[in-house]
Amino acid sequence: MSNAESSYKNSEGQDLKLFLDIDLKSERIQDFYYKGSLESRYERELEELKSKILNQSYTIALNLKRENLNHEVLLKNGARPLASLSLWLTHQAIEDYLGTTATLKEQPDLLCLCFGIGKTELKKQILIRSDYDLPQIIAETFATSACGSCREPILKAIKNLREEHGLIQGLTHSQTRVDKAGNWIKIKDMYPSDLIIRLDELKNSWMKREGIYDQFQIEIINIEGHHLWLKVLPSKDSDRNEKVLAALSDFWRSEIGALFFLHLAS
């Protein structure tokens, strides 16, 4: 008998269900059992968790961290997953018992409330793995596997994080006109021609704001991905012109939300 339950199903249709029986008076977990096609794979992990929370208050279970567990199912490539399925199932079951989804505190950083995946973790992975995308996120974190409502926010966050750091998916450099699949690079949903027009408009407004519109001539000569070549006149003081471009790059980044690498054209 149970009064709290949760379930998970992966993209291959394999499932795992967790059932808890929580005493209404003492709020202690009296029973803990599970079933599903993933049962044998996660049995060791779940049994360890069971030994730690059985006959304990459900608040103990909610405060348990991954660091408190010795056994955890690894990914097929041997890497450690970014989220613990057994802990997530336990949290979801307790939320079911409480009749609320407020047990896992919502934070502005969080994208997937079900598995606690946020922008900070995405950023960390994107900066070190050029191919990191939704399939890897699903495999390593289970994100989008529960309610699925976080799919679009996660895809948008991935795109924005790459653009904010001048990265192109699947490539170790960002100086290119086409991506790994051979498609024209779009930044902030703009192809190069439209992007140049927008950047040029922002450049002019920035120069007027800074009071340098009559001191310099800045012309965008070429663009390849996140790299732009600009001609700056007068050209005799290259150090000063480099500083001007650095400031312009910061302005573009703040206005558009994308990082551009600016080069002085000869």
Question: Residues 215-239: pLDDT tens digits?
Answer: 999 999 999 999 999 999 998 898 9
Q: For tokens 């450049």, what's the residue? A: 203
Distinct helix (H) and strand (E) counts, the chain: 8, 8
Pick left, alpha or beta for residue 4 (phi over 0 → left; psi -120 to 50 → alpha; otherwise beta): beta
The set of long-range contacts for 239-243, using a CB threshold of 8 Å and a minimum separation of 24, is: 241/216
Strand order in the sheet with 261-264: 217-224, 227-233, 261-264
Q: Break the chain down into helix, strand, coil percent, rounded to 5.
A: 40, 20, 40
Which pTM value belongs to this model? 0.61
Domains observed in the chain: 4-98 (3.90.1010.10), 110-164 (1.10.10.1100), 192-264 (3.30.300.130)
pLDDT at 43: 93
pLDDT at 103: 43
Helical H segments across 15-141, by residue range: 39-53, 58-63, 85-98, 119-128, 134-141
pLDDT at 106: 44
Q: Which residues of the chain have pLDDT under 70?
A: 1, 75-83, 100-108
209 burial type by CB count under 10 A (0-12 exposed, 13-18 middle, 19+ buried)? exposed
pLDDT at 129: 86
Give every CB contact of residue 185 below 8 A, 6+ residues apart in sequence: 168, 176, 177, 178, 179, 192, 225
pLDDT at 172: 81
Compute the radius of gyration of the chain from its Cα atoms: 25
pLDDT at 102: 43
